[in-house]
Structure 1
Amino acid sequence: MVWAWLRIAVAVVGFSGVVAGFIVNVDRARREGQDLGLVLANYFSLFTIVSTIILIVTFVIAGLWSLRNPGRSPEPRGIALAIAGITGPILLLGIVYNALLRGLPSEIALTDPSGIHSLDVWATESLHVIIPLYLLVDLFFASRRRALSWWSLAVIVAYPLLWLTYTLIRGGLTPDPSGAHDWWYPYPFLDPHGGGGWPSVLIYVAVMLVVLVAIGAGIVAVGRLRSRRAAARTSPVGAAG
C-alpha cells in the first residue's frame, strides 16, 4: 500500500511541476508579447513535459491498481513495461539536464519582474531532480515489481526515438517565439545551427542513445536480480538455507 501511495504522490509532484512550468510560460509569453499558442506548443513538445505527462498517467494507473488489488502478486506486465518504459527516459533526462544544462542562465531568472521565478525553480527541480531520484528508489525498493525480458529494452528506447524524430523535424519548421530565428529546438545540443552543425547533433544523439540503452539494461537487470532473490527467499531451499 505504501508504494501505491508513493507512486500517486510522485504523479502529483509531476503534475505540479508541469502546471508550474505552464504558468511560467504563459506569463512570459504575455509579458514579452509572444504568440501564446506557439509558446504552449513548444512547451508541450519538451522531452521533460511529454515524459512527465506519461509518468503521471503511468503511476496513477499503477498506484490505483495496487490499491484495488492488495497482496504480494507482481504487477501486471503492461504496468511493468510502462514503468520501465518511462523510467529509462526520465533517468536519462535527469542525467542530461544535470550534466549539460544545469547552470545555463534561465530566461525567467533574467527577465521576470513578478516573482514567478520561484515557480520556474520548482518546475525545474521537481521534474529534473526529485522525480528521477524517486524513480531510482522505486526501481530498487518498490514491492511487487515484475521482472522483464531483455526485449523490453526496445520499449524503453522506442519513445525517446519517436520524440527525437518529431523534434528534429519540427525544429526546422517552427520559428522561435522571440523572433530571433526561423527555427526552434528545445535544447542547445539538438540545434544544428550551432557551431558544430549536424555532426555535433548526431554525436550527442549517439552518445545519449548509448547511455539510454545502458540505463535500460540496468533497469531490466535490477528487476531480474530482485526477482531471483525474492524467489530464492520464498523457495523451500532458500528458506532452509
Structure 2
Amino acid sequence: MVGFGRAASGLVIATVLAYFYAVRIALGDGNPFDYFGYFTNQTSLLASLILIATGVLVVLGRSVPPALTLVRGIITAYLLVVAVIYNLLVPGTGSAPPWVSALLHLVFPLLVALDWLLVGDRPRLPWRRLWMLLPYPVLWLTTVLIRGVTDGWVPYGFLLPERGIASLIVHIVGLLAAIIAAGALVWAASRSPGLNVRAAELSPHRALSAPFRQRSRSPGSDHPPVYISMAISSPDAAHASDSSCTALIHSADPIPVVPMAPRSTIGATSFSAAVTE
C-alpha cells in the first residue's frame, strides 16, 4: 500500500500542476518561467516525480537507490519550509483557487512529512551531506533576483529589489536558515525506526519467507537496514555435504547470520528468508 500511495499522491500533484498550467496557457499567460518560478510549484513537481519513482520501485519489490532517498529527504525539507512560510507568514496570497493552495501548501507537505517520519524504508541520512540542501535554493534565489533586476518579476514580494539590500539579505539568510533547520529535522527523523513495511510490499512468492527475516544494522551505521535470508534444504539436514545455501547480501556492514526456526517440508528441511536492502 505504501508504494501505491506514494505513486498515486505524486500523480495527483503532477496532474493538478499540469492542469492549472494548461489553464494559464488558455488565458494567455503561459510563460513557464513565471508559473514554475514559484518555489512551491517547483518543489511540488519535483516531489511528485520522486514519489512516483520510489512508489513504483516499492511496488515492484526493488530497493530504492540511496541517492534517490537522499533527494526525497531534501525535497521533504523544502516542502516543510513551503508549508511553514505560506501558512505563518503569507497565508491566503497567490492567484490559485483556495483548495489548490491548501493542497500544495498544507496537505501535500504534511503527507510527505508523515511518509518520511512513519515509514521506515529509508536509511539514516549522513550529517556530512546536510550541505546538499543549499545548492538548489541558492540557484533558485540567484535566478529570481536576476529576473527581479532585469524584468521586474519576482514570485514573492519579500524578494523585490526595491525593498533594499538589507531587506533582501535578511530574507535570504532567513530562508536558507529555515531550509537548514527543516533539513536537520528530516535528517534526525531518518534515524527513527518507523514502520517496517518491507515485508508487506514484497511480491507473493517472496513474501512467504517474510516471517523468518532478521534485521541487522551495525551500531552507529549510516547504512540502511539489511534483511538477510537464506534458503537451505537437503534430504537429510544432518549431512552438510548435501546442503545447498544461497544468499544475496547488500551491505557495507558485517552481517551476523542467525539461523531461523526450521520449516518442515516433505523429504526436506528448509530455512528460509530473503536478502534485500
For this structure pair, what is the TM-score category when the shorter chain's length is used for normalisation? 0.7 to 0.9
Query: Are the counterparts in 2 of residues 156 and 216 from structure 1 also a CA contact under 8 Å?
Result: yes
Partner of 1:88: 77
Q: Alpha-carbon deviation of 1:91?
A: 0.9
Distance 2:119 2:192 in 1: 14
Deviation per CA, 1:39-61, whole angstroms, max 9, x where unpaired? 43201211111111211221111
With the length of structure 2 as denominator, give the TM-score of the two structures. 0.65
**1:40 equivalenced with 2:8 (yes/no):** no
**1:69 equivalenced with 2:61 (yes/no):** yes
Partner of 1:98: 87
Query: Which residue identity lines up with residue 62 of structure 1 in the other structure?
Result: T
Partner of 1:111: none
Distance 1:8 1:207 in 2: 33
Partner of 1:133: 110
Q: Alpha-carbon deviation of 1:25?
A: 2.9
2:42 paired residue among 23, 38, 50: 50
Partner of 1:26: 25
Partner of 1:161: 138
Partner of 2:172: 205
With the length of structure 1 as denominator, give the TM-score of the two structures. 0.74
Q: Alpha-carbon deviation of 1:192?
A: 2.0
Deviation per CA, 1:193-236, whole angstroms, max 9, x where unpaired? 23xx2211210111121111111111111112338x98599999
Distance 1:6 1:215 in 2: 24
Distance 1:43 1:219 in 2: 28
Q: Alpha-carbon deviation of 1:125?
A: 1.5
**1:225 equivalenced with 2:192 (yes/no):** yes
Consecutive aligned runs of 4 or more in structure 1 exceeding 6 Å deviation = 232-236
Distance 1:21 1:151 in 2: 39
Deviation per CA, 1:13-64, whole angstroms, max 9, x where unpaired? 311331343245335x44xxxxx35x43201211111111211221111111
Distance 1:67 1:132 in 2: 22
Partner of 2:14: 15
Distance 1:103 1:58 in 2: 28
Q: Percent identity?
A: 27
| Structure that is richer in helix per residue | 1
**1:192 equivalenced with 2:184 (yes/no):** no
Q: Which has the larger radius of gyration?
A: 2
Distance 1:226 1:199 in 2: 43
The DSSP-based 3-state class of the residue aligned with 1:159 is: helix
Deviation per CA, 1:89-120, whole angstroms, max 9, x where unpaired? 1111111111121134x5x4xxxxxxxxxx72
Query: Which residue identity lines up with residue 166 of structure 1 in the other structure?
Result: T
CA 1:24–1:128: 2 relative to 1, 3 Å: farther
Deviation per CA, 1:55-82, whole angstroms, max 9, x where unpaired? 1221111111111126xx6x32112111
Distance 2:192 2:147 in 1: 41
For the aligned residues, what is the CA RMSD? Answer: 2.7
Distance 1:226 1:56 in 2: 24
Query: Are the counterparts in 1 of residues 133 and 183 from structure 2 also a CA contact under 8 Å?
Result: yes
The DSSP-based 3-state class of the residue aligned with 1:226 is: coil
Distance 2:24 2:102 in 1: 16
Q: How many residues align?
A: 202
Higher deviation after alignment, 18-27 or 161-170: 18-27
Query: Are the counterparts in 1 of residues 149 and 161 from structure 2 also a CA contact under 8 Å?
Result: no
Structure 2 portions without partners, runs of 5+? 197-214, 220-224, 228-254, 257-277
Partner of 1:179: none
Give the number of the structure with larger relative contact order, counting CA–CA contacts within 8 Å between residues 6 or more apart. Answer: 1
Query: Are the counterparts in 1 of residues 46 and 75 from structure 2 also a CA contact under 8 Å?
Result: yes
Partner of 1:177: none
Partner of 1:113: none
Partner of 2:150: 173
